[in-house]
């Protein structure tokens, strides 16, 4: 989708500017990984996504923070076509190559449960090879695909600098665990006060503003934008937030947002062409179809709108009705000035 491309490029640009690692997203067959700018990685595997619509839906996400000695956490999510059919009472039993490997308690709200360290270790070894992993409740079986797992888990080890260490998921070695890079600090964004009062510019000024806005766009972007479609809000005494619908499609609509001077020359700076909504000091973008969603957020720091979140819900074959996981590639901590 259009927003995903611009979001990832924006995150990479910000990370490079700040000297922090850029996050990334990679998918291969039935597995995917998203690592953010703090080097926290989340690798998600799914049931085999073939042509059989009756395949029981299941997913596991493996999450690991950066730094030496960090444990792997794993969450299981079961999919039910009609959740009224089945309410977990005793949970499910994990099976590896037909061998029972312990109980997994399942919560009733999202049908999720946490795997034990021993279960995680067995799962990683099995999906990276040719074994079979299932969860059973006596009547049903949920099978996790291993297709793509090895490539994805190697990406996690590589990005976090674990290859060749005892703590690596796959390619373990004798390199000292303390050689694994520490997690970089999460960026902090100090949110500044921002107004949201509507501003009415005279027609000549709106036309001049639109000419300057078009100079910030690529060829073919926002061609339908006209002066009467522009909305203008006062951010500060000297700066304006200008926006107007840029595109529409199956995934929703995209609004272009700029920060501009309050008088000509306006010198607008484009924030995004994929926005969805805004409030005082914050712009958000959320697009997708059904439960497959991509999200991005920006916060006003007094000078510009700084990206604070880039995330999506994972491979577009969700387990459940609300998207499967939250897989960010850029995160930041938003700080508020004391009143």
Sorted by sequence, the CB contacts under 8 Å of residue 26 that are 6+ apart come out as 32, 33, 152, 155
Phi, psi dihedral angles at 224 (to 5 degrees): -85, -5
| Residue 12 scores a pLDDT above 50 | no
Q: What percent of the chain has pLDDT over 70?
A: 88
Q: How far is CA 132 from CA 99, 169, 188, 295, in A?
A: 10, 18, 43, 34
Average pLDDT over residues 250-254: 81
Contact between 199 and 87 under an 8 Å Cβ cutoff? The reply is no
pLDDT tens-digit profile of 23-41?
A: 999 999 999 999 999 999 9
Architecture of the domain delimited by 21-179: Sandwich (2.60)
Contact 299, 306 (CB under 8 A): yes
Higher pLDDT, 109 or 123: 123
* Contact in structure between 73 and 60 (CB atoms under 8 Å): no
- Where residue 101 falls among pLDDT bands split at 50, 70, 90? very high
Query: pLDDT confidence of 15, banded at 50, 70, 90?
Result: very low
In this structure, are residues 164 and 171 in contact, taking their beta carbons and an 8 Å threshold? yes
Backbone conformation region of residue 267, classed left if phi is above 0, alpha if psi is from -120 to 50, else beta: left
Pairing of strands 73-78, 58-64: antiparallel
Q: Tell me: the pLDDT tens digits for 197-215? A: 999 999 999 999 999 999 9
| Nearest Cα residue to 324 out of 277, 296, 276, 288 | 288
Flag whether pLDDT at 11 surpasses 70: no
Burial tier of 197 (Cβ tally within 10 Å: 0-12, 13-18, 19+): exposed
Higher-confidence position of 80 and 30: 30
Rounded CA-CA distance 325/306 in Å is 24
Enumerate the domain spans of the chain. 21-179, 188-336
Tokens at 109, concatenated? 């709200």
Pair 16, 299: CB distance under 8 Å: no
Q: Is 39 helix (H, G, I), strand (E, B) or coil?
A: coil
Chain position carrying tokens 């060829």: 219
CA 230 to chain centre: 30
Output the six-digit token pair for 330. 């850029």
CA distance 23 to 80: 32
Least confident of 77-81, 150-154, 297-301: 77-81
Residues linked to residue 310 through DSSP beta bridges, in sequence order: 296, 330
Q: What is the pTM of this model?
A: 0.89
How distant, in Å, are the alpha carbons of 208, 234, 286 from that of 265?
9, 16, 32
């Amino acid at each position: 989708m259009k927003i995903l491309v611009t979001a990832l490029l924006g995150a990479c640009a910000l990370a490079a500017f700040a000297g922090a690692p850029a996050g990334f997203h990679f998918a291969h067959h039935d597995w995917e990984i998203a690592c953010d700018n703090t080097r926290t990685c989340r690798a998600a595997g799914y049931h085999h996504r073939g042509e059989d619509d009756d395949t029981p839906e299941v997913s596991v996400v493996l999450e690991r923070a950066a730094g030496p000695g960090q444990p792997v956490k794993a969450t299981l999510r079961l999919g039910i076509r009609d959740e009224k059919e089945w309410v977990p009472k005793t949970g499910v039993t994990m099976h590896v190559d037909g061998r029972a490997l312990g109980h997994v308690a399942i919560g009733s709200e999202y049908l999720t449960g946490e795997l034990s360290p021993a279960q995680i270790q067995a799962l990683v070894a099995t999906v990276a090879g040719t074994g079979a992993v299932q969860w059973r409740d006596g009547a049903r079986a949920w099978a996790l695909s291993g297709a793509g797992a090895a490539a994805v888990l190697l990406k996690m080890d590589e990005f976090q600098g674990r290859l060749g260490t005892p703590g690596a998921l796959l390619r373990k070695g004798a390199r000292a665990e303390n050689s694994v890079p520490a997690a970089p600090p999460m960026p902090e964004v100090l949110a500044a006060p921002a107004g949201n009062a509507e501003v009415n510019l005279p027609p000549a000024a709106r036309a001049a503003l639109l000419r300057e806005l078009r100079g910030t766009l690529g060829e073919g972007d926002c061609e339908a934008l006209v002066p009467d479609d522009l909305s203008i809000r006062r951010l500060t005494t000297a700066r304006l937030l200008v926006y107007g619908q840029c595109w529409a499609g199956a995934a929703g609509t995209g609004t272009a947002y700029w920060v501009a001077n309050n008088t000509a020359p306006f010198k607008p700076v484009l924030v995004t062409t994929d926005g969805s909504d805004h409030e005082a000091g914050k712009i958000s973008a959320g697009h997708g179809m059904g439960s497959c969603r991509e999200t991005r957020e920006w916060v006003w720091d007094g000078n510009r709108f700084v990206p604070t979140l880039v995330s999506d819900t994972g491979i577009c074959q969700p387990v459940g009705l609300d998207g499967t996981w939250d897989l960010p590639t850029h995160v930041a901590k938003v700080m508020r000035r004391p009143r």
